[in-house]
Amino acid sequence: MNSDVFIEYCQAFLAENPDRPIFPIADGQPSHRSNKTKEWVLPTNGRRQLFYLPGYSPQLNADEWVWKKVRADHI
């Protein structure tokens, strides 16, 4: 994934919901934090906002609990 693909993905949500703001929750992937993505978000007067998960947040990601359980059972 690159910034163009991520922006296109977000634009699809905007197109489906033209009267509503969107608030994607993104991880730290470079395309989510790139200057190009930030420039795309800025001129929208709050209609587009990105929220980022902390760098390491297993308590917010159910998949991490699964992997923790799998590792504990197989060690």
Structure confidence by residue, pLDDT tens digits, 22-72? 788 888 889 999 999 989 888 777 677 888 887 777 777 777 778 777 887
Q: Please report which residue ranges of 1-75 form alpha helices under DSSP H.
A: 3-16, 30-33, 35-41, 62-73
Whose tokens are 């990105």? That residue is 50
Predicted structure pTM score: 0.65
**pLDDT tier at 4 (50, 70, 90 boundaries)?**
very high
**pLDDT tier at 8 (50, 70, 90 boundaries)?**
very high
Terminal Cα-to-Cα distance of the chain (whole angstroms): 34
